[in-house]
Each structure stands twice: as C-alpha cells, then as structure tokens.
C-alpha cells in the first residue's frame, strides 16, 4: 500500500496486522521488555518491515534503534521512516544518494478523538476538515493529522529542529484511484522556514495520500538533488510514533 506513494529509488515493506515470524535483535528487545504485548508486537513487526526494506536495498539486517525524538537510526547511507497504527505497519527506505529524506504515516480512517482536530489545525484547515469528504467517505480530520505527522517525520531528520502542528499549513487535492479508491496529493507550506542542507530555505513539502482497507497513508520524499526550497513526493504526541 505505502509503495504506491513512493518514487523510484525508494523501497517499502508493509503488513496488515501482526507478523508472527518477526524477531528482534537483543538491543531492540531490551527496549520493549517491560511494555505491553501490543507495543512489543507493533515494535517487532515494524522492524521486520524495515529489515525487509533493507534487504531490498541489498543491505544486511541491522537493529533499528530510536534516536533523538524517537527518530529511527538507520545504517550509514540510508534514510527512511516507519509507521504503525491499528491494523497496519510499514517502513520505507532509500539510499541517501537517491533521496535525502522520507516521511510516512498511517492512521485508521476513523474520526479523531474529540478535541484533537482543534489542537492540530489552523483555522483554514479546521474549516476544510469539517466540510466533508471528497464525494466519498473519508475522514478529513484523520487525513490532515496523518499529513502533519508525515511533514514532521520528514522535517525533523532533515533539519534537526522542532516543528509544531501549527507550523505547517496543509492543503489537499483529490484524484480518483482504482476502483474509486480515495487518493491524491497534498502541499504543506512551512510557516517558519529554515535553511536546508544546501543552505536554501525549506518552505514547502508536497506529498501523496491514499485511503484503502480502512487505513489512510501519507508520504513525503525529498530528492537528494534538491533537498531545499520545494521538495516533493512523486507518484509511485510522540511525533515519531513509527518507532
């Protein structure tokens, strides 16, 4: 599912639900030894997805440990992102010679809990989220939340600074997908631009989204050749909840 949103050069692995064959490296297992069974399962399965993606890049399996702000620490020369929600786990990776960064997020296609939308949305976004779907059933509030998570999961590893929900103003476009599947693109205008790796300000991200099988997924990728100004994903409150 997530691979439908990624460009050439990126690889992905995802599963709908637990992976009973997944195992952890000892240093990973120590991090979740005292957590709930659900947390251990999510942690284990999403790392199995990450190791399958590493294999698709021709790299050996490696532990995926959390770094600052829980962002995954990838092997040298690799960029990527992980995500999990009820019923879905995914990882997307690339070599840093192909992409400068990836940010993905998955959410159940269900309304946000009460009060959450108001805490994440700018006034224009709030009006849009409350205005209904794209001619079909789609939880706009959850799509907005997922896109903001994808923005953060792209921004923080790339820039190394915090970004609040109200620092990105997001707009969406809808496309008719196969069998009427809701999908489209989004643009995130960064309201507090900062210099990117090449010194030019990063002020816009564009990405893609889709909803299928009760799950909303969003993805942003930053091409290695233009990791600044406007960065895009071509077709193809722990903020790093993918960990």
- For the ranges 6-10, 24-28, 156-160, 194-198, the lowest mean pLDDT is seen at 194-198
Question: Which residues make Cβ contacts (< 8 Å) with residue 232, sequence separation at least 6?
Answer: 205, 206, 207, 220, 221, 223
**Is 150 in contact with 101 (CB distance < 8 Å)?**
no
Percent of the chain surpassing pLDDT 90: 74
For the chain, how big is the Rg over CA atoms in Å?
17
d(CA 155, CA 207): 13
Q: What is the pLDDT of residues 102-144, one digit of tens each?
A: 999 999 999 999 999 999 999 999 999 998 766 667 899 999 9
What b/e sequence results for 100-116 when a residue is b if at least 16 CB atoms lie within 10 Å of its CB, and e otherwise? bbbbbbbbebeebeeee
d(CA 36, CA 103): 26
Block residue for tokens 């100004």: 229
pLDDT at 136: 66
Q: What is the pLDDT of residues 216-237, one digit of tens each?
A: 999 999 998 754 434 443 333 3
Q: What is the pLDDT of residues 9-49, one digit of tens each?
A: 999 999 998 888 899 999 999 999 999 999 999 999 999 99
């Amino acid at each position: 599912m997530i691979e439908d949103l990624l460009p050439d050069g990126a690889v992905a692995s995802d599963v709908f639900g637990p992976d009973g064959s997944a195992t952890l490296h000892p240093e990973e297992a120590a991090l979740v030894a005292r957590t709930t069974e659900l947390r251990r399962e999510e942690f284990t399965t999403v790392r199995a997805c990450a190791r399958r993606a590493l294999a698709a890049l021709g790299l050996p399996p490696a532990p995926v440990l959390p770094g600052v702000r829980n962002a995954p620490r990838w092997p040298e020369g690799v960029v990527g992102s992980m995500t999990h929600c009820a019923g879905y786990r995914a990882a997307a990776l690339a070599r840093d010679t192909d992409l400068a960064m990836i940010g993905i997020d998955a959410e159940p296609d269900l309304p946000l809990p009460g009060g959450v939308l108001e805490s994440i949305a700018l006034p224009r976004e709030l009006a849009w989220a409350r205005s209904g779907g794209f001619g079909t059933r789609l939880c706009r509030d959850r799509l907005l939340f997922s896109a903001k998570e994808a923005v953060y999961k792209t921004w923080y590893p790339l820039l190394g600074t915090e970004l609040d929900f109200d620092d990105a103003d997001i707009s969406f476009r809808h496309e008719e997908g196969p069998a009427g599947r809701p999908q489209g693109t989004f643009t995130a205008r960064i309201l507090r631009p900062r210099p990117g790796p090449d010194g030019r300000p990063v002020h816009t991200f564009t990405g893609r989204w889709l909803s299928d099988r009760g799950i909303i997924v969003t993805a942003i990728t930053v091409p290695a050749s233009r990791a600044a100004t406007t960065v895009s994903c071509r077709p193809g409150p722990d903020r790093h909840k993918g960990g």
